[in-house]
């Protein structure tokens, strides 16, 4: 062996070091791990966003489907019987998006039979089950 550079060794390394291939050094391990965690988090967020948007789209679609409800044409005084409401034609059956239908709204006039208005029901108000009670 001469004094010149030895193949497979760093020229600045002492001669008694073992032969080491010169391998380029990449990013530190901590940075690689952080990058992988960041990519995994981004993928997870994208999946969650897609699931959320799918559920939102379905809920909006369901709330725009039409539904029927009874709507007061004029004032229905407290104590008015369901049969009088039907006989006097005090309501109209309308079709509106389900998202606009009041909770427990009545869609079938037969529900009014044997019941009386528990309180005044105002014009253009949806008829709902809590608005009616059984007579005493």
Which residues touch 17 (CB under 8 Å, ≥6 apart)?
9, 10
**Whether 25 and 59 share a structural domain:** yes
CA distance linking residue 14 with residue 131, whole number of Å: 96
- Same domain flag for 32 and 89: no
Higher pLDDT, 8 or 120: 120
Tens digits of residue pLDDT in 88-134: 999 999 999 988 999 999 999 999 999 999 999 999 999 999 999 99
Q: Which helix (H) or strand (E) holds 35?
A: helix 29-64
Whether 5 maps to a domain, the answer reads no
Phi and psi at residue 132, to the nearest 5°:
-125, 150
pLDDT in tens, 26-71: 556 678 888 889 999 999 999 999 999 988 887 766 667 899 999 9
* pLDDT recorded at residue 17: 59
Contact (Cβ atoms closer than 8 angstroms) between residue 54 and residue 111: no
**Closest CA relative to residue 71, chosen from 51, 100, 28:** 100
Indicate the number of domains in the chain. 2
Question: In this structure, are residues 112 and 135 in contact, taking their beta carbons and an 8 Å threshold?
Answer: no
Answer yes or no: is 9 within a domain.
Answer: no
Report pLDDT for 74: 96
Q: What is the pLDDT of residue 62?
A: 62
**Last residue of some domain: 6, 30, 64?**
64
Cα 75 from Cα 54, distance rounded (Å): 42
Whether residue 69 is found in the same domain as residue 129: yes
Question: Contact, 125 vs 109, CB < 8 A?
Answer: no
Give the residue numbers spanning the domain of 59: 20-64
- Is 110 in contact with 89 (CB distance < 8 Å)? no
Domain with residue 81: its CATH number is: 3.90.1210.10
Structural domain includes residue 102: yes
Q: Which pLDDT does position 27 carry in this prediction?
A: 59
């Amino acid at each position: 062996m001469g004094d010149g550079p030895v193949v497979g060794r760093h020229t600045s390394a002492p001669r008694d070091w073992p032969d080491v291939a010169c391998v380029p050094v990449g990013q530190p391990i901590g940075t690689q791990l952080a990058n992988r965690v960041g990519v995994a988090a981004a993928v997870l967020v994208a999946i969650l966003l897609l699931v959320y948007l799918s559920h939102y789209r379905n809920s909006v679609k369901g709330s725009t489907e039409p539904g029927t409800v009874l709507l007061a044409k004029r004032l229905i005084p407290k104590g008015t019987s369901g049969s009088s409401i039907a006989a006097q034609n005090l309501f109209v059956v309308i079709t509106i998006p389900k998202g606009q239908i009041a909770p427990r709204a009545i869609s079938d006039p037969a529900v009014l039979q044997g019941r009386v208005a528990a309180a005044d029901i105002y014009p253009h108000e949806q008829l709902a089950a809590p608005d009616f009670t059984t007579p005493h």
